[in-house]
Amino acid sequence: MSLSRRFGAIALVSLLAACQRAQSARPQASGATAVTAPADGRVEIRVDDQGYHPATIRAAAGRALTLVFRRTDALNCGEKVRFPSLNNLERDLPVGQPVEVAVTVPASGELAFTCGMNMYRGSVVVQ
């Protein structure tokens, strides 16, 4: 195994460990992290080793929202955010740099987003 491949493997293992810590630390019922989208449609979402804050955004069907993801540190596996129902739309989240994703609230149900490994989860939920 080459040196760079070995470093890659170590990085992957530490990312998986971060994901698993986040899962085990997550409270069973976390209604506290839900917000209603503000009038201007901009929703700031912090990404840390516990996942997305808020993890649930309530908004009216058909509204245009701007989700502004800000990853607080490199010690978590939130380096990518992905929207499975938007044809797997994916954005990199550099640490400390806000990344805006424009979305439209679906007609019903929810618009889910996850980290690259599908372990951090959040969603925009129709009000």
Q: Give residues in contact with Cu ion (CB under 5 A).
A: 19, 77, 115, 117, 119
Q: How far apart are CA 89 and CA 20, in angstroms?
A: 24
Residues 6 or more apart in contact with residue 110 via CB below 8 angstroms: 123, 124, 125, 126
Minimum distance, C-beta of residue 118 to Cu ion, in the bound complex (Å): 7
- Nearest distance from residue 110's CB to Cu ion, in Å? 19
Closer to Cu ion by CB, 19 or 37: give it. 19
Closer residue to Cu ion, CB minimum distance, 63 or 91: 91
In whole angstroms, how close is the CB of 18 to Cu ion at the nearest point?
7
Q: Which of 54, 88, 87 shows the shortest CA–CA distance to 70?
A: 54
Largest CA distance in the chain: 54
Find out whether the peptide bond into 54 is cis, omega within 30 degrees of 0: yes
Beta-carbon contacts of 6 under 8 Å, excluding residues fewer than 6 positions away, are none
Q: Which is nearer to Cu ion, 111 or 115 (CB)?
A: 115
- Closer of 60 and 73 to Cu ion (Cβ): 73
- Nearest distance in Å: CB 122, Cu ion: 12
